[in-house]
Amino acid sequence: MDIKNLIVDKVRNQFGDSLIEVVEFAGDLSLTIDSKKNRELSEFLKSDPELQFLMCKDVTGIDWGTRKNRFTVVYHVYSFQLNFTLRIKCNLEGEETKIDTVADIWLSANWYERETYDMYGIIFKGHPDLRRMYMPEGFEYHPLRKDFPVLGIPNSLPLPNKID
């Protein structure tokens, strides 16, 4: 059986209507799933003996700007057994910026989720150490959001005093 069909069948059997969309493009497989089911799906993908997605390669976000469901959280997970990378997307409702953490399922997700929090302001509920990563602590904006100007907001980042 084809790897992609295997994955889609298994996830559909397990999650039914929570699996919102299946997209295959340029050899990649993307599954869109209800954002409330992301932990359940992660545990399933990791523990299923035929799938064994043991590695989380990346977590990131998308800010769609004016779209109704503004934010999407994207996971890239890899199975050594299948030699296959799967993309999982979770659309967040409206302006909602909260989703459950998967940092305890895949340890590597710890830093990726911190990055996503730093740059997009998405809060991962239950994350053990959700701090800023690239931007200084106390910075109140999230630079990869669509409404953040490329040149930044004047005086939002501290500089040492000028010496005369």
Which residues in 104-137 are b (16+ Cβ under 10 Å) and which e? ebbeebbebbbbbbbbbbbebeebeebeeeeeee
- Nearest distance, CB of residue 129 and other proteins, angstroms: 19
Structural tokens at position 77: 């997970």
Question: Among 13-21, 25-33, 41-49, 134-142, which window interacts with other proteins (CB under 8 A)?
Answer: 134-142
Task: Give the x/- contact pattern for other proteins in 83-122, rule: CB under 8 A.
Answer: ----------------------------------------
User: Does residue 162 interact with other proteins by CB under 8 A?
Assistant: yes
User: Does residue 23 interact with other proteins by CB under 8 A?
Assistant: no
- Nearest distance, CB of residue 162 and other proteins, angstroms: 6
Interface with other proteins (CB under 8 A), residue from 9, 81, 125, 153: 153
If one counts every other C-beta atom within 10 angstroms of the C-beta of residue 72, the result is 19
Distances from the Cα of 31 to the Cα of 4, 35, 69, 88, angstroms: 11, 12, 17, 5
Interface with other proteins (CB under 8 A), residue from 51, 134, 142, 146: 134
Which residues of the chain form contacts with other proteins (CB under 8 A)?
134-136, 143, 148-153, 155, 157-163
